[in-house]
Amino acid sequence: MNRLSQTTLDRLGESIELPPYDRALVDVGIVHFGVGNFHRVHQAVYIDRCLRDPQARGWGICGVELIDSEANRAKADAYLAQDRLFTVTEFAPDGSAVTHVIGAMVDYRHAPADAEAVLAIMVSPQTRIISLTITEGGYNIDETTGAFDLTSPAVAQDLAGGATSTAFGFIVEALRRRRASGTGPFTVMSCDNLRHNGDTARLAVVSFAKALDDELAAWIDTTVTFPNSMVDRIAPQVPAAMRDELNRRSGIEDAVPAMSESFMQWVIEDRFAAGRPPLDTVGVEIRDDVVAFEFMKGRMLNACHMLLSYPGLLCGYRIVHNAMGDDRLRRLLETFLDRDVIPNLEGPQGVSLEAYKSAVLERFANPAVNDQLLRIAHDGAAKIPVFHSKTIEMLMSRDGDLRREAYFLACFERYLRGRDDKGDSFPVNEPRLTPADHALLKSHDPLALLRTSPFEKLGLADHPEFVRLYSAAVGMIDAEGASRALDHLLA
């Protein structure tokens, strides 16, 4: 087995797709915060394709890790030893797979070890895009007020002049230096899976800057661009056993291999302050109707992911494709899309919602991806209102059939207890539920879930028909289990 590095590329098997360009000629044009699995199988793959164009060699990536931990220090060492190369193995629904060596990341920095080195790269005129995959919660937006939280410890430390520890601290300090030197702005490009991600990034960055300097904040707000985008690709976690299996399959010793489905999508606004890579030539859709794609993905794909996870877990499944192998769960998703979502959703111009539905169901059923239901279920109190509220609202306003949404929330209520129909336990991770929410859930209020802080704004406890359906679903799940309640629903 060949250890992955620049010097071993010519010894890898013929079935491995290698970077067809000279990496020595690639300069950093993008600094990326958050080099997790999703970035590596999504943005990095698209940039890798762009770099095949000789005119695009100025768009290499410098990856930056912000968190100081033993695991991240080990990851930094691995990237250094592998010349910042890593493999991505893509699995198609038919079981076929192909492994790519991705060469787009030509530099990598562990920020806690040398923050000034990171800032120097960001201030360089060659750097024209700062991109982010820092998770939805990483933008530090207060869910109640919708404002950037200036009191969180890391942000407060940066504002007080401590060591730069947040993406916002790095971005604003780099922009301050660029403004002072006349270098000019860059683009801040969020690649996180949240709606209006560019607008969210703008709110966070400008709010942070305003807490330091009103004039700097005004300059950032008027010169820096924050394009909205919709990103999509399933990127499962890679535990040690899967890492070994991926390396065995490829014949490459890679300390940090990544895996994904074969499907990949990126829709982004053409708003770049200092130019962009030729993304439109490598499959990225440059459009001004990103919001329509966000709504389609959120209300179809993300909503179905959530709808599958809680009933699936309660029925005893732990893997997504195994749950999709249960005809009842697949019918639940199909019926939800056909009756509850598609009739109440206007898709992007030129996009077939029926075709998108078929693609979603095919992707979920891909056995090679081996995605975890618990990964999807995590933080449901935050995600369910985002992906289901609009459908619920429209069903209520049109006297639609609320049975599936009621069953879904009843399953979520049961999921919070951490045991499936057979009594087997599973971990529950719900960081957005407050102590008051937990106290309410332990009370004897039959509508406790609907009154918790994430759900009360939906008004479900005040809708008689929803209350009737939800109460009936909760009662049946408690008495006979989620599986039997699903049989009843589908009948």
Tokens representing residue 156 in the block: 């407060």
Q: Where are the beta strands (DSSP E) in 236-357?
A: 252-253, 258-261, 265-268, 285-286
pLDDT for position 161: 86
> Are the C-beta atoms of 132 and 33 separated by less than 8 Å?
yes
Exposed / middle / buried, residue 401 (Cβ in 10 Å: 0-12, 13-18, 19+) = middle
Sequence spans of domains, the chain = 2-287, 291-490
If one counts every other C-beta atom within 10 angstroms of the C-beta of residue 322, the result is 17
Q: How far apart are the first and last CA of the chain?
A: 54
If one counts every other C-beta atom within 10 angstroms of the C-beta of residue 182, the result is 7
At residue 102, the 3 state secondary structure works out as: strand
> Are the C-beta atoms of 108 and 63 separated by less than 8 Å?
yes
DSSP state of 433: S
Amino acid residing at 366: N
Which residues of the chain fall short of a pLDDT of 50? none
At residue 30, the 3 state secondary structure works out as: strand
pLDDT for position 136: 82
Exposed / middle / buried, residue 301 (Cβ in 10 Å: 0-12, 13-18, 19+) = buried
Angle between helix axes 197-212 and 167-181 (nearest 10 degrees) is 70
Q: Which residues contact 26 (CB under 8 A, 6 or more apart)?
A: 51, 57, 58, 59, 60, 103, 104, 106
- Just give the CATH number of 291-490: 1.10.1040.10
For domain 2-287, the CATH superfamily is NAD(P)-binding Rossmann-like Domain (3.40.50.720)
pLDDT for position 194: 87
Please state, in angstroms and rounded to a whole number, the distance separating the CA atoms of residues 66 and 74: 14
Closest CA to 5 of 120, 85, 87, 90: 85
Closest CA to 406 of 392, 420, 418: 392
> Are the C-beta atoms of 333 and 308 separated by less than 8 Å?
yes
Tokens representing residue 120 in the block: 């120097």
42-55: b (≥16 Cβ within 10 Å) or e: bbbbbbbbbbeeee
pLDDT for position 370: 85
Using one digit for the tens of pLDDT, what is the confidence trace for 241-257? 999 999 999 999 999 99
Q: Which residues contact 149 (CB under 8 A, 6 or more apart)?
A: 140, 141, 142, 155
Kind and range of the H or E run holding 315: none
Q: Do domains 2-287 and 291-490 have the same CATH topology?
A: no
Please state, in angstroms and rounded to a whole number, the distance separating the CA atoms of residues 220 and 218: 5
Please state, in angstroms and rounded to a whole number, the distance separating the CA atoms of residues 120 and 296: 40
If one counts every other C-beta atom within 10 angstroms of the C-beta of residue 303, the result is 27
Please state, in angstroms and rounded to a whole number, the distance separating the CA atoms of residues 32 and 35: 7
Tokens representing residue 4 in the block: 């992955």
Angle between helix axes 403-415 and 380-397 (nearest 10 degrees) is 160
Which residues sit opposite 210 in a β-bridge? none
**Residue matched to tokens 């895996």:** 259
444-456: b (≥16 Cβ within 10 Å) or e: eeebbbbebebbe
pLDDT for position 195: 87
